[in-house]
Amino acid sequence: MIIFNDSPSLLTAKRYVGYFEKNHKLPEINFPKSVLLTFQPYLFSWIKDQQQAKSYRIFGMDLLILPASNVGVVGGFGIGAPVTAIVVEELAALGVENFIIVGIAGSLQKAVRIADVVLCERAIRDEGTSYHYLPDSPGESCYANANAELCAEVIQRLTSASLTLHRGAGWTTDAPYRESIERVQQLQQQAILTVDMEASALFAVANYLELRSTAVFVISDSLANLSWSPHFFSKEVSKKLQVVCKNLLT
């Protein structure tokens, strides 16, 4: 069990970034205040093709800078809570303040269907990374919260584009191959909408660093009927991801 400890860290992202800057290992970039975190390579490639963006490779991630909108897009760094925390820490040390996951998630509820869009307002912390940033909390489930103000801004943008949104809580887990029937049934009773691998870690790191974060998911597969129904390669899913990104990047 991880016991949260708020004492100073020997290694910080600011010191790490400073070391690279001192040794002239970083490109000259005016970093944006906001970034989208993407986990699907095809979505990152589509954004790169559609936008007049400058592309960089830094700290093991691909970064697109969109000068017209002062927004960046990050991808190519892998999946999961630990790497998401590292990316957020390093980008925050470079001046980024707002982080929005745009990715895919599984549905736990029959009413949340394939290619539906879900705004994750809080996430159950069923991963290990967040417990290094926020203490545990009593109760049946321990949550990390998205930033309410940023959630409202995302809602306004997407609903203005006539996108229908589900809003609610998700489940973040490090172990996608241990999503048991018993656990899914328990979470269904708690009205948990989705399952993913990064949201609660993002929210925890952002809260600790006093940044703003949220997550927008397009449903790519479902566990709602207590069996796995995958639709990762659906054109409807990829198109919906594109629509979400288009409206968050303008």
**For position 76, which CATH number holds?**
3.40.50.1580
Q: Is residue 124 part of a domain?
A: yes
pLDDT in tens, 12-44: 999 999 999 999 999 988 999 999 999 999 999
Q: Does 4 map to a domain?
A: no
Number of domains composing the chain: 1
Cα angle 183, 188, 191; round to 5: 135
Give me 10's structure tokens.
């020997």
Can you give the residue range of the structural domain that contains 153?
13-248
Integer Cα distance of 17 and 91 in angstroms: 9
Residue 6 in any domain: the answer is no
pLDDT tens-place string over residues 184-198: 999 999 999 999 999
Q: Is the pLDDT of residue 102 over 80?
A: yes
Residue 1 is assigned to a structural domain of this protein: no
* pTM of the predicted model as reported, rounded to 2 decimal places: 0.96
Residues 6+ apart with CB under 8 A from 190: 140, 141, 169
* Structural domain includes residue 203: yes
| Model pLDDT for residues 140-184, shown as the tens digit of each residue | 679 999 999 999 999 999 999 999 999 999 999 999 999 999 999
Q: How far is CA 186 from CA 54, 132, 157, 182, 250, in A?
A: 45, 26, 33, 6, 39
Whole-number percent of the chain with pLDDT over 90: 89
Asked if residue 126 lies in contact with residue 192, where contact means CB atoms within 8 angstroms, the answer is no
User: pLDDT at position 140, please?
Assistant: 63
Q: Is residue 3 included in any domain, yes or no?
A: no
Q: Between these two residues, 89 and 5, which has the higher pLDDT value?
A: 89
Q: Does residue 2 sit within a domain? A: no
